[in-house]
Structure formats: structure tokens, C-alpha cells
Amino acid sequence: MRDRVTAQPEIVYQDDHLLVVHKPPGLPTTSPDASEACLVRWVAAQLPRRTNMHATSRLDGPVSGLVTFALTSLANRHLLDARRAGNYVRTYLGITTRDVSFTERAWTWPISIDPSNRKRRVAGPGKGEREASTRCELAARSDRAALLRLMPATGRTHQLRVHAAKAGVPLFGDDAYGGDRRVVLSGGTVVTARRIMLHCAGVQFPKMTGDGLTEVTALPPEDMAAVWLELGGDPNELRVGR
């Protein structure tokens, strides 16, 4: 069953070369099926004259947050160079219902294809192995859950989900990688995650002209904010950046 799209995308930053769009959960970034709605087709409809438009980042369908688009070939090269230099920074927020015993970790397990399911990935050596690096920080903690701040240095398929699972802190709602779908609080209240509780909350990259950085942030959608509140968290903890 496909995820239900609960909101429309929103353009949150645009200049002559670059575009940043807030993708809602349930909408795939791309799709080989011409009849299926996806973020790339939505952006193309908004900017029909931008024939060189290219998505330079991707989010899994259930994941919400910021996706960057290059509107020119120059911008595409600019972001590629920024990635290689480590100057293209993405900050994600993820909720886990498992115990987090650390304040900061660097995860460097390689990502490989799951031999039992080619659509999934595993942390460790194997077929299609590629190096991967993620920095994880404990952003906040409630009585029943923890909020993780995740910063990938690479962009492998399912990287954050696989790394979090390998570290013993799978994301809430990510049952494909061992995460809980629901938890029962001490008073008997049941909290359910209807999707993976992961959101790209911030992107930062060098300006195309001149010095300085472009920084764009976006709060998680209402569904994730509501889950964090139900788990005893403070919605103000879902902010990143300035």
C-alpha cells in the first residue's frame, strides 16, 4: 500500500540557480511510473520553463523535509563540488523509542544490498557495498523516547534508517528496519507512528556568488510534531538552525 500524501509540497527557497522544496510525507521524490505523482513532477509543473531542473537530493517516500534542486547546470556542479568538499550539510530529526545511551556518535558502517531483499539495505560488507558516514547527536529526551539529530556525510539508500537500526536506535515507525510502530505509555495511552518519524529539517550550502552560506530550515509536519508531543517531548525541540 502506498503512503498517503497528507499535504502539498512547498517552495521554501528559490534563486536564479537553486530551489529548496519542503516535501510532505507520502510523496516520492521521483517515480519511474509516469502516472504516479512525485516531487520532481510537481516542481516541473511549477517551473515549466526550467528544462535543466534536477533534484540533487532525495528522500524516501514516507520521509518528510527539504529537497534541493539545481535549476542550471552550473548549480548542479556547484552542489556536487560542495558535497565533495563536505560543505553541503543536511540535518535530519528522527524519533526513536529505544534507549539512547550516548550524546554523540559517528557511524561509519558501509551500506550494502540486503541479500534477502534487493530493495532494502544492511549495514556491513556485502554486495554493492559503499562507504557511508553519519554523525548522530542526542537532541532531546522524553520519558519514553529520544529525538536524534542526524547529519549524513554521504547519501546512500536508506542510510540513516540502516545506521540507526545498526546502532540499536531504529526510528519510530520504521518497521522495515526494526523500529516500533506503536508504544504503550505508562498510563495506557497508545502512541502510533503512521510513517517513519524522520524529517530533513535543514540544509546548508555555499552561496553561488560571493562568500557565505545559504541556510534553509523547515519544521517537521504536524504528524511528527504530534507524535513527539504524545511521547512527552517539547515541540520547541524540533527546531534546528537559527
217: phi then psi, degrees, rounded to nearest 5: -130, 160
Q: Does 60 participate in catalysis according to the annotation?
A: yes
In sequence order, what are the beta bridge partners of 122?
Answer: 112
Cα(137)–Cα(148) distance, integer angstroms: 6
Chain centre to alpha carbon of residue 137: 15
CATH of domain 10-238: 3.30.2350.10
CA 138 to each of CA 29, 48, 103, 125, 222: distance values in angstroms, whole numbers, following the listed order: 28, 42, 5, 27, 22
Cα(134)–Cα(124) distance, integer angstroms: 14
DSSP per residue, 97-149 = -S----SEEEE---EEEETTEEEEEEESS-TT-B---EEEEEEEE-SS-EEEE
Q: Per residue of the chain (242 residues), give pLDDT as tens.
A: 334 445 899 999 999 999 999 999 999 999 888 888 999 999 999 988 877 889 999 999 999 999 999 999 999 999 999 999 999 999 999 999 999 999 999 999 999 999 999 999 999 999 999 999 999 999 999 989 999 999 999 999 999 999 999 999 999 999 999 999 999 998 899 999 999 999 999 999 999 887 899 999 999 999 999 999 999 999 999 998 75
| Closest by Cα among 37, 36, 67 to 54 | 67
Please, are residues 65 and 218 in contact by the beta-carbon 8 Å criterion?
Answer: yes
| Closest by Cα among 12, 29, 6, 27 to 223 | 6
pTM to 2 decimal places? 0.93
Q: Of 3, 15, 16, 60, which is the active-site residue?
A: 60
Three-state SS at 14: strand
